[in-house]
Structure 1
Amino acid sequence: MTEDIISSVENHDDLVAWLNDVIAVDKVSTQQLGEIDTLISSLLTTLEVACEDTSAQLERIIDSTSRAVPRLVYDLHSMRDNAVALQSTLPSLQNQSKASTSEETAAILAELRTLNLVKRNMEAAREVLGEAESWNSLEFEVTSFLAERSYVRAAERLSEASKSMAVFQNTPEYDSRRTLMINLQNQLEASLSSALISAISSHELAVCKEYYHIFSNIQREVEFRNYYHGARRTEIVGLWQTANLLESGESSASRTMSSFLPEFYDSFLSLLETERLSIPQVFPDPPSTLSQFITSTMSNLQPNVAHRLSSTLSYHGAAGLQELVACFKATEHFVSRVENLFEKISFSSNPWSPLESPPSLGGPVSPGPTPTHSRRRSLRMSISWRSGGHRASLSGLNVLKGKQDVILDDLDWDQELFQPFLPFQVDYGSLEKRFLQDALQRLLVVGQHNSQAPKMDQSRLLREKMVDAVQVADACLTRSGSLTYGYGSVGLVQALDFFFSSFMASWTKQVELEPATVLTGTVGSSSGQDLLDLDYTARDWADFQHSVHLLESSRAVLERLSAFEGRLRTTLIRFSAQFRAARQDSSSTVTSSRRLDQLFEQSVLNSIDLQTLFDAVDPDSREHGGATSNKPSGVDPITPLLVEALEGVHKFAKSCQKSVQKTLLSPLRNHLSAYASLAAWTSNDDKGSRQGASGQYDLQVPTFSLSPTDTIQRVADGLLNLPRLLEVYGEDNALAFSLHTLPSLDPQILASLGAHVDGVSTERALPGHLRRPSLAYKPASHPSLDPELVASAWLSSLSHSIVTHLTSEVLPSIPSLSPHGAGQLSSDLSYISNIASAMAVNHESLEKWKQFTALADAEGRKTWAERDSGATDPIFGEIARKRGWTVG
């Protein structure tokens, strides 16, 4: 038992794997472990003694060599001196020889040379005549052999005749003899074809081997392989053609391509297992022949694999991507099993050993890659010996591994299996985008657009749907690695960015377009009870709380999006590390197969955009010679990947903020709705002057400032109540989220909130003079902000918004202004301007309206007359038209 365990080391490539296998509890007892330990100790001692003996012997060899080298130099000098002496002696010997030879002897020798030349020419002519005579009887002899079914002799005769074809090169008879040779070879092949197919089908290997030599002798080895491959693949090709698949449009079909393909590969592998034992008994190059068999079988499938994959995508639609991944993984598994099969077949050093050695039939063997294999094998074995010689004492695996590598490197059988998938892998980005778009439609079809659902449930539904969306996106990371091994990372990021941005866009549209829904029941808000003196209805409070809850949900959405982006970044870094390892170590591969690596490397997926993406997420990629490593500024390693998705979250937050703002400002807007149509704007009741009936006498009396209208008074009271409202909700985390998207927010207020607001740089929201280099993107950390700052930001935004509404929509709607109306408007604007200033709101348009409405008629007309028409202020022009200054 112990000896069997020790001998099992020969069956393992890795010593650690062997030890783990040996010391398994269910295989070796404690007593056996002791025996193994003793035996290993003995072996180690023996090994140490052998090492010492080898070292001593090596020292003796070096010593003897060092003593022999000086002697060798002396012998070389002696040989050189002797050669120089011989060189000086030879001319004198030649002269003596010529002097001793008489003229009669020279004439005889010249005649002998002539006779010898004639003899050689006559023998050559005899051989040519013999070859010509043999060609005259070639057709008769071969036909007779075929009639007698002496196929071996016919092949030998054709092989002999083939050798003499060179004699007739560049002669008129060459074409006719070549045609005769081809016709006779065709006759021999036709005579053998039926018997050959029968022998192949019945698996008579000895007969097949004999036929192989016959075909080799007549230079028809390729045709023999075609016969063999065609007969042996009939069953597996028939299995493929008769497959009843759903994707083929068969009404009675019950299974898909992804379920059929593993069964097909299992049957194909069983056939290859049989051929692994049969091919070495027929062919001299088993690995190459088996590779050709796989290639010819896959290329003869009808419809081909690419067509069925395309049908799969067409039938399943967006879900076809999952089917494609399943088919690809089944193919990879099949390739892995076939590689093991090639390892077994490549270990045979003499593939002809199962039968007797091939007879010497005198015919040339079909030229193949054998010489190249032999040359490369010697080189590979020498490299293996130098790099791994210290393991040679364990087994002969190194030598076999070297032979195996050189064979597998030259075979391209797996390319025929992987090539059909490459167009779909190149198009992975669009396929993934299509899949995610379909998943998004199914994700949003339930709940979101249900008008019967209470509004308060929408915030909870958003959180739930975001969980589902992230789950769908997580599956993309696995799918991308399975189908493209990171080569499709650019398309992956783009598809995910589109998916999340579309997801948020649908919710943003929901907030912007759907009308408010009144909640059933009363609002149980203590804050609502505390602020009953404000002009808000129950519906306003319901809408306000609904918008706040949605805003809080957007914070949760951003947290989940940031967590997913972290996982995406980790996946891309892992891909980048694999690519970097493959660049640094030629024995390392990115994919499961070196041939698949080559296909990806030669495709458009291996682009500069891919390397740029890896450089952006992986600093080690730039340090080890990435495509963009020579850029002086570099790429920020924390630059967001899902940019559009991040923007989508904040657009949704902005829509929620607008909804909150619309609710809070709705009473003020209602007050201003009839402001433009007040009768005061056209009233001529001017208490500041007294005029006679004829208008000839004007009496100017002192006047006091007019009181603001009731409308402006109520608007101002509403603005003054906003701080009290915001104090109640200022501590709500929802209002502190995404403050940089608040409408009309003062940049100075935003700058005071801090450099980062919820993971988004404030740089985009600030003017150029307030931007700082430190305001870079950071993952969402949701810092706790001072409630007073949050209330200040909202108050600034609300005040700006209502003042903007007043100056851009309400005031331009006033049809005309009398002098009294202008005075009243000036008083209103002065009052509201004071309120806005108290809230730290400086509104340029409001100040202009206040300034221009305060002008007296004479001053206004003069200013209008002296104006520069090319640079007239639009607000002044609006007021001039309302005051009638533009007339006359």
Structure 2
Amino acid sequence: SLQVLVEIDRVKSRMQLAAESLQEADKWSTLSADIEETLKTQDVPVISAKLTSMQSSLAMLVDTPDYSEKCVHLEALKNRLEAMASPQIVAAFNSQSVDQAKTFVKVFTEIDRMPQLLAYYYKCHKVQLVAVWQDLCQSDLSLNRQLTELYDTLLGTWHSQLQWATQVFKNPHEIVTVLLIQTLGALVPSIPVCLSTAMERTGQETKLNKLLEVYDATIHFAKGLEVAMLPNLKEQNLVKVMELVEVVYGPYKPFQLEYGDLEEENLLIQISAVPLEHWEVIDCVQELNHSVNKLFILASGAIDNCIKLTDGLGVCGLLKALKALFTKYTSDFTNTLQSIRKKCKLDDVLSDSLFQEDWTAFQNSVRIITTCGELLRQCGDFEQQLANRILSTAGKYLSDSYSPCSFSGFQDTSSAEKKNSIKNPWQEYNYLLKENPSEHASLMETLYTLK
């Protein structure tokens, strides 16, 4: 009957499977017996072929009692092959031999050891790059110049290694990205340590400028990498690229989070260097007039600093610093006016006394009124400039949920475009969202209000 035929077929299948298992067991035994002699030849491709055959046989012996022992034995043989080949691997990577490297890629792929091969690749290049950094650290160059030299070396490494790795590895972009990540993480002394040390040695009056100077070198490097990666962004592992972005910008995160305090301290030091009080009334009046432009040069410079160091994410700190600046200035301005009033003895004039013309005092009063008018005018201009620059820079961080569109069709198109577009990790970096969510929320509210 049909049931009997089905049962016979099952028995036949089991017998075939048993026969194959016996064949594989026999094959394993033969290969296992021969492998020692093969290892003595130190012929890496031949040894690899034998190990690959053993690996295939082992896959058929999963249900055998000594399967785990066989697995351990095979791994030990792979370790011996790797140890035997390691000098040749290092030599191949150091000499940048494409043919030899390809051979090892094939071998290590066959024995499922590609991560170990890549570890050799990373180590070979890391050693050289870390040595470059250590030489720079021992030089008399400033930190800014040291970083510039390092970044130039790393950018050159990116281009040269990508060209080489494309001929050797299947995923060259990811591999070279990981190389940079590992190198930046292996630097001794680390960039964060160097940066902190440099800031500690810098006076308060120049701390922010020093930070911006060093950060400029990093920005230049980041832009260079972004330009290099952009044409092949689809081929990149974006998770690894974002990791690289974090490693590049990470050392500045503590200072970016403290930007408001740094800027406030900087502005107060700068405005304190603009003395409004003078012995002569005419000098006070002239200094009040000149101080207006100085005030707004400082304020505009603060916006530049915020954009440069935080890409607009430090707006809340900027507003706090500007408030401190204008509070200090108005206090000094008011005190100077009171001083002028005393110098002119206006408080000593009795209400019923005979009026005496004082054209000098009148002219000074007109100048002061003109200065106040100019101050108000520039305040209005600055407020508009501040709003425009904040929106043009930090506006990209404002999510759609904060700005619902009136026309659903337009909104749908925008969403579709966003789905189809590949995000650029270099533009998506947002240290504030993760490190200080409350300040990030305040920033979003500020941007929405301005918009």
Normalised by the shorter chain, which TM-score bucket? 0.7 to 0.9
Q: CA RMSD in A?
A: 4.0
Cα 1:489–1:169 shift into 2, 3 Å: same
Residue of 201, 207, 210 corresponding to 1:320? 207
Residue equivalent to 2:196:
310
**Once the two structures are superposed, what CA deviation does each residue of 1:475-502 show, in whole Å capped at 9, x if it has no partner?**
1222222233322222211111111212
Report SS of the residue matched to 1:431: helix
Which runs of structure 2 are paired with 1:107-126 in the superposition (5 Å)?
Answer: 119-126=12-19
Which runs of structure 2 are paired with 1:404-415 in the superposition (5 Å)?
Answer: 404-405=233-234, 407=236, 409=238, 411-412=240-241, 413-415=244-246
Residue equivalent to 1:230:
123
- Letter paired with 2:316: V
| Partner Cα separation in structure 1 for residue 379 and residue 9 of structure 2 | 98
Residue of 145, 160, 164 corresponding to 1:278? 164
Cα 1:477–1:204 shift into 2, 3 Å: same
CA displacement at 1:576 relative to structure 2: 6.3
Residue of 374, 379, 384 corresponding to 1:566? 384
CA displacement at 1:214 relative to structure 2: 1.4
Residue equivalent to 1:434:
265
- Letter paired with 1:609: S
**Once the two structures are superposed, what CA deviation does each residue of 1:107-162 show, in whole Å capped at 9, x if it has no partner?**
9x95x877765554344333323433444455553333222112112222222322
Are 1:333 and 2:220 matched, yes or no?
yes
Cα 1:139–1:505 shift into 2, 3 Å: farther
- Letter paired with 1:280: T
- Bigger fraction of residues in helix: 2
- Letter paired with 1:611: M
Residue of 434, 447, 451 corresponding to 1:614? 447
The TM-score normalised by the length of structure 1 is: 0.43
Report SS of the residue matched to 2:260: helix
**CA contact 2:263–2:321 (8 Å) conserved in 1:** yes
Residue of 178, 181, 192 corresponding to 2:85? 192
| Partner Cα separation in structure 2 for residue 417 and residue 142 of structure 1 | 47
Which runs of structure 2 are paired with 1:679-690 in the superposition (5 Å)?
Answer: none
| Partner Cα separation in structure 2 for residue 514 and residue 146 of structure 1 | 97
Which runs of structure 2 are paired with 1:294-693 in the superposition (5 Å)?
Answer: 294-318=180-204, 319-342=206-229, 346=232, 404-405=233-234, 407=236, 409=238, 411-412=240-241, 413-441=244-272, 443-444=273-274, 447-448=275-276, 453-509=279-335, 534=353, 553-575=371-393, 578-579=396-397, 585=414, 593-600=424-431, 602-603=433-434, 604=436, 607-616=440-449, 618=450, 621=451
Are 1:143 and 2:36 matched, yes or no?
yes
Cα 1:515–1:141 shift into 2, 3 Å: farther
Cα 1:458–1:140 shift into 2, 3 Å: farther
Cα 1:342–1:555 shift into 2, 3 Å: closer
| Partner Cα separation in structure 1 for residue 34 and residue 383 of structure 2 | 81
How many aligned positions are there? 428
| Partner Cα separation in structure 2 for residue 299 and residue 200 of structure 1 | 21
| Partner Cα separation in structure 1 for residue 174 and residue 311 of structure 2 | 29
- Letter paired with 1:128: S
Report SS of the residue matched to 2:137: coil
CA displacement at 1:561 relative to structure 2: 2.9
Runs of 5+ in structure 1 lacking a partner? 1-105, 246-252, 347-403, 524-530, 622-888
**Once the two structures are superposed, what CA deviation does each residue of 1:282-320 show, in whole Å capped at 9, x if it has no partner?**
101122222222222222222333333333333334433
Residue equivalent to 2:52:
159
Residue equivalent to 1:21:
none
Q: Which has the larger displacement, 128-137 or 453-462?
A: 128-137
| Partner Cα separation in structure 2 for residue 486 and residue 121 of structure 1 | 70
Report SS of the residue matched to 1:602: helix
The TM-score normalised by the length of structure 2 is: 0.79
Cα 1:263–1:227 shift into 2, 3 Å: same
CA displacement at 1:537 relative to structure 2: 11
| Partner Cα separation in structure 1 for residue 94 and residue 86 of structure 2 | 12
Cα 1:217–1:542 shift into 2, 3 Å: same
Residue equivalent to 1:31:
none
| Partner Cα separation in structure 2 for residue 120 and residue 165 of structure 1 | 20
Cα 1:121–1:467 shift into 2, 3 Å: same
**Greater RCO, CA 8 A, separation 6+:** 2
- Letter paired with 1:282: V
| Partner Cα separation in structure 2 for residue 311 and residue 242 of structure 1 | 18
Residue equivalent to 2:141:
255
| Partner Cα separation in structure 2 for residue 550 and residue 146 of structure 1 | 95
- Letter paired with 1:570: N
| Partner Cα separation in structure 2 for residue 114 and residue 171 of structure 1 | 25
| Partner Cα separation in structure 1 for residue 59 and residue 126 of structure 2 | 39
**CA contact 2:93–2:121 (8 Å) conserved in 1:** yes
**CA contact 1:460–1:553 (8 Å) conserved in 2:** no
Cα 1:340–1:493 shift into 2, 3 Å: closer
Residue of 64, 68, 74 corresponding to 1:175? 68
Identical positions, percent: 22
CA displacement at 1:270 relative to structure 2: 1.6
- Letter paired with 2:184: M
Report SS of the residue matched to 1:316: coil
- Letter paired with 1:190: A
CA displacement at 1:468 relative to structure 2: 1.6
**CA contact 2:212–2:305 (8 Å) conserved in 1:** yes
CA displacement at 1:437 relative to structure 2: 2.5
- Letter paired with 1:335: A
| Partner Cα separation in structure 1 for residue 34 and residue 230 of structure 2 | 46
| Partner Cα separation in structure 2 for residue 114 and residue 127 of structure 1 | 20
**CA contact 1:145–1:151 (8 Å) conserved in 2:** no
| Partner Cα separation in structure 1 for residue 123 and residue 221 of structure 2 | 21
Residue equivalent to 1:210:
103
**CA contact 1:432–1:492 (8 Å) conserved in 2:** yes
**CA contact 1:139–1:184 (8 Å) conserved in 2:** no
CA displacement at 1:416 relative to structure 2: 2.6
| Partner Cα separation in structure 2 for residue 514 and residue 221 of structure 1 | 80
CA displacement at 1:580 relative to structure 2: 5.8
**CA contact 1:430–1:495 (8 Å) conserved in 2:** yes
Cα 1:292–1:551 shift into 2, 3 Å: same
**Once the two structures are superposed, what CA deviation does each residue of 1:151-181 show, in whole Å capped at 9, x if it has no partner?**
1122222223223444554665233222222
Residue of 154, 179, 197 corresponding to 1:293? 179
**CA contact 2:433–2:440 (8 Å) conserved in 1:** no
| Partner Cα separation in structure 2 for residue 512 and residue 172 of structure 1 | 99
**CA contact 2:137–2:146 (8 Å) conserved in 1:** no
| Partner Cα separation in structure 1 for residue 355 and residue 34 of structure 2 | 116
CA displacement at 1:598 relative to structure 2: 4.3
Which structure has the greater CA radius of gyration? 1
| Partner Cα separation in structure 2 for residue 139 and residue 458 of structure 1 | 98
**Once the two structures are superposed, what CA deviation does each residue of 1:522-578 show, in whole Å capped at 9, x if it has no partner?**
x9xxxxxxx9x948999x999999788666644443333333223212323434654
